[in-house]
Structure 1
Amino acid sequence: MISCLIVDDEQGALDILTTFIHKTPFLSLSGTTTNPIEAISLVQNQQIDLIFLDIHMPQLSGIDFMRLLGGKSKVILTTAYSEFAVEGFELEALDYLLKPIAFERFLKAAQKALNAFVEPSAKWQLPEKEDDYIFVKTENKGKMSKVNFDEIVYVEGMKNYISIFTADDRIVTLLNIKDLEDKLPAKQFMRVHKSYIVSLNKIRALDGNQILLKDMKAYVPLGETYRNAFFAALQEKIMGGGKK
């Protein structure tokens, strides 16, 4: 785990970065402060690996803070003022995050920090296997069901909930279809209609605008909006042609 400190004079920025750190498995939050003077004391008295540091602060600028830090901790700069980036990199900042910070951009910076703390010879040992399941809350209060991705045949989105269909089960959960789409592996699943996602591995046949699926009597409609992307994804698998 990489121990982190957030130094920013805006409480809103502290809250956002705190949330992002809690979402990142290899980061651990050791503290937050709006006072850079207090931050120096925190760094001196405990092990801080990484500091998310605002550049523009009234008591002490982030650049001056880095000079006082003397390389004791790694730094990722955060600011709304891009003109300070060059000076920060001259002081060997790992990265530069421009406010407002998106979580995707934050993760890229966090990955740079992870690479900086992992020995080159050990990097190959980092797990690369993607998650192959999720847990979803069901209709029954307090119950959660484990859903293995390789068991999903298709997903149907309704107004306020979605149904996840496997070969022998239907799991209903209060979830947005877009949120689930973002969680599913893109190589394995595809949105084929505004209300449907299918597992490409479970497709049995195509009949016009109908997708027939393994172990299912029902079919899934192929929406016109998604048709071109769907056939582009299947292009390498399509062979042969009818007689003229």
Structure 2
Amino acid sequence: MITCIIVDDETHAIDVLKHYIKSVNQLNLVASFTNPTEAIAFLSRQRVDLIFLDVHMPEISGIDFIQAFQYERYHFILTTAYPQYASNGFDLDIVDFLVKPIPLNRFLQAFNKLQRVIGQQKSNQNSNDIEMEYFMVKAQAKGKLVKINLCDIDYIEGMKNYVAFHHQGTRTIALITMKEIEQKLPEKYFIRVQKSFIIALSKVIALDGNRVVLKDVGSEILIGETYRQHFLDTIKKKQII
């Protein structure tokens, strides 16, 4: 659910937006304000995801309002009868700019754009998360702790009481079991495809019958019957045709 507020000095404009917001299940209107200073006070107590904001208001302009929150993570959709303000709004990285009177289809286009923006931000955050995550493992051969970044792992191979991390063209063997390492790996990035192999989902480039092809890995990995259905279900979530 995306929480939002409306800030507009015209009650009629607020009523139109309220009606439109009710037609979108994913939007939850928590408050509306005709006075922007009251909206600022509200935001000091409660966070929201989205602000529908008029540009031309008597006390504080919408542009000044956005600049007051430039270090906060709010999404803004500007609403105004003055289209000449559009360039100023987009310079401040707003989601969209709606010119009054606002048709419903144009409102829905702005909402769809908001969903794409939020989706991209989540995707970027997930990428940043895995780039920051790593293991420190006691390497069998070197007898010292070795740092392995999760984003560098191609696959992990089980070897009885050891596992081999295949990463960036090298192999690091560590004293840990497949079961133990599987419990430590984030499920959204790694999946077990057979008793002896865990692969990085980000490195999958093709599925050829019962074999999975990984980026920059010379050999294909056989999918075990026990793990096949779970793997296929996971891949199908990303399938578009």
TM-score normalised to structure 2 length: 0.49
Which of the pair has more CA radius of gyration?
2
TM-score normalised to structure 1 length: 0.48
